[in-house]
Structure 1
Amino acid sequence: MSLLSLDTWLTPPHNRRSLHQVDKLVATDVISRGDRAPLPLHASDSPQNLEACTVALSPEREAPLHEFLALTNTDSIIVLHDDEILYEKYFDDNTPESRHIVMSISKSVCAMVAGILVGEGLLDVDAPTIRCIPELAGGSYGGATVRQLLDMTAAPDFDMSYTDPSTEVQAGDRSAGWRPRRADDADGTRAFLEGLQGSGEHGAAFQYCSATTDVLAWVLERAAGIPYARLLETKLWQHLGAEADALITVDNHGTPYACAGINMRLRDLARFGRLILDGGRIDGRQVIPEEWIRATSRGGDFDTFSDEEPRPGTYRNQWWVPGDSHGSFYAVGIFGQYLWLDPTTGVIIAKFSSEVDPLGHSSQHINALRSIASRATGSRPADNRPERTSK
């Protein structure tokens, strides 16, 4: 068996072994859970028999759940309703104690911390980015607002082709310590962000870009006067009822890779989803402002988004909103990391995977997770017809 390597850990099939052992390859900072008792989760007394059910892979095709899990190289999955575990499964050497990288679910975590700061009066979403980060005045992000960062409508020149070494996304990985550094790479994530250029019009169109979240995290850090990892810790993780510390990867300067670097246990990802579906409250305390969550789940203007696969619907506060009849919304990361929230059924699905293609089986995931959420409670399945209104 080959050793884990910085050269290959993001390359299939090596990712099957590496995505739950990232701290052996990349420097990390601890996001402490504190001394709060974990939010109890327990097996349901009357679970639906999900093991035997079929799930939708497309509007025309259904398959047994086990076939979907194998097709998408599932590492682990949990289906939660209230505090009841309806289904939980781990594969290969993944266990309930494994910390798996959540990739771009990290973006959605970041945006919830932004909402907390807005609620505390520390962050103005209409403010220009350079109010907090004057270092960005000479680059693309200098002209963007915080709202444009949150909704991915900033417009840097940035190629998100994950498998092409010449793209900005891989250059960002190298600056963050995720890949071997080249001589001409920026010295760390924030030097990389300062150097990004672009002549596009901010706010004119949706542009999914990992660097945008790293700029947002930098803004949050400056607005609160607290390093980003400590923000995650003190504003969110220590209030979540997490059972374990989380980790976040850092560059050679200790700067967290906010767009993708969080690692956590599967059950703690489900607890994060539980907090959001509970309107941001836990044990009678408001952790995330309820209105921030409502605005996120409503999504943006559906007319500005295409219904083309793999991700139809809209995007708001770094969450995807497909516009189905259950009001579902979700966070997603490359190689098949998902947190699916169904407000109608109250079901949360957290899933870790190590897909071969970074964007592999996106449409199958959306269809399958939607049907699992419905069948877990015996409710009517959601449809995928967005309401054509501006939200």
Structure 2
Amino acid sequence: MNITLSKSLTATWVLGVLLSANVLAKAPQTPDQIPILPASAEALRGSAYGDFGRSWQNAPHNTTIYQQISRAFPTAVVWRGNGEVSHFEYNKQDLSKITFTNLKGQQETFQHHLDRTFNDGLLIIKDGKIITEEYHNGMKPHTRHHLMSASKSLTSTLFSTFVEDGSVELDKTIATYVPEAKGTAWEDVKVSDVLNMTSNVQYREEFDNPDAEVWAHESAVGWRNVAQGKPSTNREFLYSMNKMDKTDGKFHYRSSETDMLGQIMENVSGIGSAELFSQRIWSKLGAEEDAQCMVDREGACVVMGGFGTTLRDLGRWGQMLANGGKFNGLQIISQDWVNKVSTGDHEKFEHYTGMLPKGAYSAQFWIADNERNITSALGYAGQQVYIDRDINLVIVRLSTWDKPDYSYATDSYRAMEAISNHFRK
């Protein structure tokens, strides 16, 4: 595998900019339009090696499907627990006219950016109080919106509890915790390399290349129809992977690494990831609603991109991080882990600085600004959580972009930075 890649090209892999030209367009919807599930989710999945641009993940289907995943795919419930709901106070403020310089060099208001990039829900929390809360495109406060790869950061917070209690050590090999990995490409890979996506296991997140591993991966977890003779479960896919011919040891975005973290946690505990997330994270937040996780054909939670939550509940998770791991009167994850996911090795991030010039990647989190320790979760088509701990700011955005456009992600981060700068004055 050739790993010498331009910064902008590699960054686009993350969000699938290199899709076929056949991605369907969709018109903006008004808030009172209620999405209706297409007649056949199976038809949306299509051939495992067909036109990726016409899948359920893309326009015009994604606005509908992302808000109704449990009607289209098998999901596991992430129970909220039986505790009281932790309520937010409100201090409404109008931030819509805050401006930033977009990629085209133009001044753009925050509101205009949201309108042109298919925003479904927006939540801004300052000092623990909600200052902005909006729902669009049929989304409601009780709607569980699909998070795609923002799920990776939720998985990180769960994984932190295994590191904290000593049941997983980052300098051990994968085979230490997953005996099935012996004899596979994962056998001698360190847990820390999987956590930071710096392993030497080959995974190409190339959506324009049907031979890339991401296609077989999505087929294996049930996001696309299974190709005959190919892996039909997540585990089968992971154990079928190969080593890279060479690696530079730097961060390369690979969804397979997150699912291997899921394998570690399930092997160590003997409990499925959806239940683990409920026990260790979700039930402690005082969430209003159960969360959910898409599962593969074995019923295993697809932790690399399968979680779905409501807007406010995702805000509770983000506020927990802003509080140094504390929320609802509990220390849910360690302060050390929050520190870990707030800064990273910028030199290892060199292939992705086109999107985040001051960025880094650490333990399944995108560091939006490594100099100011601003961390974030990021998902395909615009699911984002932006956390500026210095000023106790949390921004949650749930979107279904009409196209997985690299420029949307960059401009979204610039818009959030403008909000951050507004409160840092």
**Pick aligned residue for 1:54 from 99, 107, 112:** 99
**Pick aligned residue for 1:302 from 325, 346, 362:** 346
**For 1:6-54, what per-residue CA distance to the aligned partner results, in whole angstroms no more than 9, with x for missing partners?**
423123111121111111111000000011112211321xx43213332
Equivalent residue for 1:352? 398
**Pick aligned residue for 1:5 from 33, 38, 41:** 41
Counterparts in 2 of 1:171-186, with a 5 A limit?
171-186=216-231
Distance 2:420 2:204 in 1: 34
**For 1:210-259, what per-residue CA distance to the aligned partner results, in whole angstroms no more than 9, with x for missing partners?**
01100011111222332211111101011112110000000111011110
Distance 2:220 2:349 in 1: 31
Structure 2 regions of 5+ residues with no counterpart?
Answer: 1-35, 45-54
Distance 1:158 1:170 in 2: 10
Distance 1:356 1:162 in 2: 16
User: How far 1:58 moved relative to its partner?
Assistant: 4.3
2:160·2:334 contact (CA, 8 Å) conserved in 1? Answer: yes
**Pick aligned residue for 1:207 from 220, 239, 252:** 252
Q: Secondary structure at the match of 2:96?
A: helix
Structure 1 stretches of 4+ with a deviation exceeding 6 A read none
Structure 1 regions of 5+ residues with no counterpart?
Answer: 381-391
TM-score (structure 1 length as normaliser): 0.91
Equivalent residue for 2:377? 331
Match status 1:343 vs 2:379: no
User: How far 1:305 moved relative to its partner?
Assistant: 2.2
Equivalent residue for 1:159? 204
Distance 1:290 1:203 in 2: 31
Distance 1:3 1:56 in 2: 42
Q: Secondary structure at the match of 1:110?
A: helix
Counterparts in 2 of 1:279-298, with a 5 A limit?
279-298=324-343
Equivalent residue for 2:366? 320
Equivalent residue for 1:149? 194
2:89·2:129 contact (CA, 8 Å) conserved in 1? Answer: yes
Equivalent residue for 1:139? 184
Q: How many positions carry a matched residue from both structures? A: 375
User: How far 1:329 moved relative to its partner?
Assistant: 0.9
Distance 1:122 1:22 in 2: 33
1:40·1:83 contact (CA, 8 Å) conserved in 2? Answer: no
Distance 1:26 1:283 in 2: 32
Equivalent residue for 1:120? 165
Equivalent residue for 2:297? 252
User: How far 1:141 moved relative to its partner?
Assistant: 1.6
Distance 1:362 1:152 in 2: 20
Aligned partner letter, 1:121: G
User: How far 1:203 moved relative to its partner?
Assistant: 8.0
Distance 1:203 1:238 in 2: 40
TM-score (structure 2 length as normaliser): 0.84
Match status 1:28 vs 2:64: no
User: How far 1:81 moved relative to its partner?
Assistant: 1.4
1:303/1:34 Cα in 2 relative to 1: closer, same or farther (>3 Å)?
Answer: same
Match status 1:43 vs 2:118: no
Match status 1:223 vs 2:268: yes
Equivalent residue for 2:412? 365
**Pick aligned residue for 2:233 from 188, 192, 195:** 188
Moved more, 53-62 or 109-118: 53-62
2:128·2:392 contact (CA, 8 Å) conserved in 1? Answer: no
2:249·2:348 contact (CA, 8 Å) conserved in 1? Answer: no
Aligned partner letter, 1:23: S
1:99·1:265 contact (CA, 8 Å) conserved in 2? Answer: yes
**For 1:306-358, what per-residue CA distance to the aligned partner results, in whole angstroms no more than 9, with x for missing partners?**
26312341111111113355321111011111000011221101111111333
**Pick aligned residue for 1:261 from 302, 306, 310:** 306
1:149·1:216 contact (CA, 8 Å) conserved in 2? Answer: yes
User: How far 1:201 moved relative to its partner?
Assistant: 5.7
Equivalent residue for 1:63? 108
